[in-house]
Amino acid sequence: MKRAGATVALLAMLAGWIAPAVAVAVESAAGRKDPARAITSQLICPCSCGEILSGCTCDTGKAMQGFVTDALKGGKGHDEIVASLVAKYGEVIRGAPKAEGFNLIVWIAPFVATVIGFIIAAFVLRRWVGRRSVTAMPGGGMIGAPTTADQDLARLRARAEAELKRMGE
């Protein structure tokens, strides 16, 4: 039972780490085919729609997509285009914050919170399983140490049997 729970927890952690890696690999493959899409899929439209720039259909989004395409045709690189858009619209257009300085918390905190959650869940499950130390068997027997409730029940049963004997005499 403990092995199965540990295996499930391990598989869940691995899935949580593998899924984003696969998404990044798919996105980088798409980026090699269409460099404009690689850039616009990492940015968010600064207008009120808040969509990813590659799928945005508002005027601001269309203008930014055109800017990216024109800049790529003009020979500018990925970092240069992103830097000019960030300078114009601010850091808010980045789909993900840079992994440096205080922003590292945004990258690390989800993993730390996940690990802490698994530790808490394992602790709680272990306590719940520990409370079920006395389990009834099909033959009426008990597994585990008798509790005070079991002792009280045995005394009441013995008293009831004694009274039934007395009434039958």
Say which CATH number the domain at 77 has.
Answer: 1.10.8.640
Classify residue 134: in a domain, yes or no. no
- With a cut of 50, list the residues of the chain below it in pLDDT: 30-31
Is 75 a member of any domain? yes
pLDDT value of position 123:
93
Domain residue limits at 83: 2-122
In a domain, 130, yes or no: no
Residue 32 lies inside a defined structural domain of this protein: yes
* Assigned domain for 84 exists: yes
Q: Is residue 102 part of a domain?
A: yes
Instruction: Report the C-alpha dihedral over residues 152, 156, 157, 160, rounded to 10 degrees.
Output: 180
Percent share of the chain, pLDDT over 90: 16
CA separation for the pair 128, 5 (Å, rounded): 13
Task: With respect to residue 59, please indicate whether it lies within any of the assigned structural domains.
Answer: yes
pLDDT at site 110: 92
In this prediction, residue 161 carries a pLDDT of: 93
In the prediction, which pLDDT does 159 show? 93
Span 31-56, pLDDT tens digits: 457 888 888 888 888 887 778 888 88
Domain count, the chain: 1
Whether residue 137 lies inside any domain: the answer is: no
Mean pLDDT value across the chain: 78
DSSP 36-86: HHHHHTTBB-SSTT--BGGG--SHHHHHHHHHHHHHHHTT--HHHHHHHHH
User: What does pTM read for this prediction?
Assistant: 0.44
